[in-house]
Amino acid sequence: KEAKLWGGRFEESTTDAVEKFTQSISFDKALYKHDIMGSRAHASMLARQGLITDGDRDKILKGLDEIEGRIERGEFAWRTDREDVHMNIEAALTDLVGEPAKKLHTARSRNDQVCTDFRLWCRDAIDAIVLRIKHLQVALVNLALKNEGLIVPGYTHLQRAQPVLLAHLLLAYVEQLERDAGRLLDCRVRMNFCPLGACALAGTGLPIDRFMTSEALGFSAPMRNRLPFSLAVPFCCFVLPVDFASLELLMTLIYINSIDAVSDRDFVLEFLSANSITAIHLSRLGEEWVLWASEEFGFLIPSDSVSTGSSIMPQKKNPDPMELVRGKSARVIGDLVSLLVLCKGLPHAYNRDLQEDKEPVFDSVKTIMGMLEVSAEFAENVTFNQERIRNALPAGHLDATTLADYLVKKEIPFRTSHDIVGRAVALCVSRNCLLQDLSLDELRSISVTFDKDVYEFLGVENAIKNFSSYGSTGSECVSNQLDYWVTKLDIS
Ligand code: ARG
């Protein structure tokens, strides 16, 4: 058996069962790119600080290039006995370039290395998710544009409530997705600090330059306890007044130290919380579209390309992608819960338990990306059954609230007008007719305030025309919303 990189004090080799149980290479090899990126920055810093020679640095950098190439070509042999991605790469580098590679881990621990890699990985993942959120927003806005003017029943308690424009409903999802992206980007700001150089937990006595590695890796700053005065002054004068993100940055610099840097995983807790909220939004969209695609609603027609069939019932056409969007939201929430439970009892600083943080994050990211992609594809491949929707609109007295507002405009107190319209609805229910079918005499038998202009307030079209408040489903307001999103999302 090969000696472990940490094997100096050990007299026995680890058992196969322990090796198999403690390994993380089977999943953390996903971090290889970011691990190599971190090592490049670290080696360059060590050389500039005189901790290794420029010659050693060059051999290390060349070796890392070679290893990266081999991994990408599928020629790299990942070894379980080398435990994790960090030691696999370091050991392979030693095999490749010899002595200089043994200097790479100077002033570095796997504890700061792993959370540096992980922050870099998550940062890229956030960017990829935010991009997919935008694609889904574009698909929903396009769907809204295609159906501008289409009135649908709006529901509360899943009971008929008031008429709304379909575009208004679709844009509600667009708003929610915008906040989802915002949460991820906020989380990215807090995440983007560099733990590298915190070493095992305490920092180091070697003259490293954490600002150099942090900058090389695109972080805002190293994670440490205090901003040095020389940096704090220009920071406060020039950066701070600029935006809120910079204020966040300053706060983080003040509160974070090397022990915190290697022991906390709040950055992934926050990330997966944001993913969970996005997943819940997508799940609600899934639920709504599954319902709408049912025979009972019949409002939504998914194209064959986004539907699947039954192995036994020849007639079936199911909206499985959106059912799975709803179903997979459970995984995303589960991933967050796993991480929360993982972290809850850990003493400071690093604990091996933290190795269990990777898989839930990888799963959450893979799942949410799939959910976003398939939701966008579904949105691009559905049509709304206009006839079915039109025929459905009269049921449920969707114009009742508009009628109550009509009476308010005639100076009837709202509570009284609610009661009057309630009695008109009861009459309709007993006669199985619509509010607009009641004659003026019938209406006036309930309240003398009704006049012949009442018919301009009845029916869903009139109801929609009447909405005018800011953010309402009135045509003008919805068209303003559409204009806003078309510009904001750069839709041509
Ligand atoms: N594979 C470990 C992880 O993912 C890396 C850090 C291990 N550190 C240690 N001292 N055992 O957390």
pLDDT at 349: 87
Task: Determine the distance separating the centroid of ligand 1 and the alpha carbon of 35, expressed in angstroms.
Answer: 13
Task: Determine the distance separating the centroid of ligand 1 and the alpha carbon of 115, expressed in angstroms.
Answer: 9
Domain 400-488 fold is Ribonucleotide Reductase Protein R1; domain 1 (1.10.40)
The percent of residues in the chain predicted with pLDDT above 70, rounded, is 93
- Is a pLDDT exceeding 70 seen at residue 254? no
pLDDT at 244: 56
Task: Determine the distance separating the centroid of ligand 1 and the alpha carbon of 366, expressed in angstroms.
Answer: 23
Contact between 65 and 92 under an 8 Å Cβ cutoff? The reply is: no
- Is a pLDDT exceeding 70 seen at residue 250? no
The two three-digit tokens of residue 206, written as one number: 């070697």
Does the active-site annotation cover 375? Answer: no
Query: Which of 67, 75, 64, 68 shows the shortest CA–CA distance to 100?
Result: 64
The interface predicted TM-score of the complex, written ipTM, equals 0.96
Instruction: Categorize the per-residue pLDDT at 225 as very low, low, confident or very high, splitting at 50, 70 and 90.
Output: very low
Domain coordinates in residue numbering, the chain: 14-106, 114-192+265-386, 400-488
Number of helices (H) and strands (E), helices first, in the chain?
20, 6
Per residue in 176-223, pLDDT (tens digit) is 999 999 999 999 998 999 999 999 998 899 999 999 999 999 998 887
Per residue in 427-483, pLDDT (tens digit) is 999 999 999 999 999 999 999 999 999 999 999 999 999 999 999 999 999 999 999
Does the active-site annotation cover 157? Answer: yes
Per residue in 256-297, pLDDT (tens digit) is 588 888 999 999 999 999 999 999 999 999 999 999 999 999
Catalogue the E-assigned strands of 114-197.
Answer: 151-156, 159-165, 193-194
Strand 159-165 vs strand 151-156: parallel, antiparallel, or unpaired? antiparallel
- Mutation probe of ligand 1 site: the residue of 32, 79, 110, 263 with most atoms within 8 A of C-beta: 110
Ligand 1 atom index nearest CA of 354: 12
**How much is the mean pLDDT over the chain?**
93
Cα Rg of the chain (Å, integer): 31
pLDDT at 220: 86
Instruction: List the residue whose alpha carbon is closest to atom 3 of ligand 1.
Output: 355
Name, in order, each residue with C-beta under 8 angstroms of 132's C-beta and a sequence gap of 6 or more: 369, 372, 373, 376
pLDDT at 373: 98
**In the CATH scheme, what architecture does the domain 114-192+265-386 have?**
Up-down Bundle (1.20)
Residues 375-402 have a mean pLDDT of: 96
Angle between the 400-409 and 414-431 helix axes, to the nearest 10 degrees? 140
Residues 305-311 have a mean pLDDT of: 93
pLDDT at 232: 55
pLDDT at 212: 93
- Is a pLDDT exceeding 70 seen at residue 53? yes
Cα dist from 26 to 29, 88, 124, 331, 358, whole Å? 7, 11, 21, 21, 11
Catalytic pick among 26, 294, 303, 310: 310
Instruction: Categorize the per-residue pLDDT at 416 as very low, low, confident or very high, splitting at 50, 70 and 90.
Output: very high
pLDDT at 255: 46
Query: Which of 365, 360, 359 shows the shortest CA–CA distance to 29?
Result: 359
Contact between 38 and 198 under an 8 Å Cβ cutoff? The reply is: no
- Is a pLDDT exceeding 90 seen at residue 332? yes
- Mutation probe of ligand 1 site: the residue of 343, 352, 353, 362 with most atoms within 8 A of C-beta: 352
Per residue in 120-165, pLDDT (tens digit) is 999 999 999 999 999 999 999 999 999 999 999 999 999 999 999 9
Task: Determine the distance separating the centroid of ligand 1 and the alpha carbon of 79, expressed in angstroms.
Answer: 16
Task: Determine the distance separating the centroid of ligand 1 and the alpha carbon of 355, expressed in angstroms.
Answer: 6
Instruction: List the residue whose alpha carbon is closest to atom 7 of ligand 1.
Output: 110
- Is a pLDDT exceeding 90 seen at residue 313? no
3-state helix, strand, coil in the chain (%, to 5): 65, 5, 30
Instruction: List the residue whose alpha carbon is closest to atom 4 of ligand 1.
Output: 355
Instruction: Categorize the per-residue pLDDT at 82 as very low, low, confident or very high, splitting at 50, 70 and 90.
Output: very high
Largest CA distance in the chain: 101
Ligand 1 atom index nearest CA of 83: 1
- Is a pLDDT exceeding 60 seen at residue 9? yes
Catalytic pick among 157, 230, 311, 439: 157
- Is a pLDDT exceeding 80 seen at residue 398? yes
Domain 14-106 fold is Fumarase C; Chain B, domain 1 (1.10.275)
pLDDT at 337: 98
Query: Does the global pTM surpass 0.90?
Result: yes
Write the single-letter amino acid at 87. Answer: M
pLDDT at 226: 46
Pocket lined around ligand 1, Cβ cut-off 6 Å: 24, 28, 84, 110-111, 114, 352, 354-355
Task: Determine the distance separating the centroid of ligand 1 and the alpha carbon of 112, expressed in angstroms.
Answer: 9
pLDDT at 223: 75
- Is a pLDDT exceeding 90 seen at residue 240? no
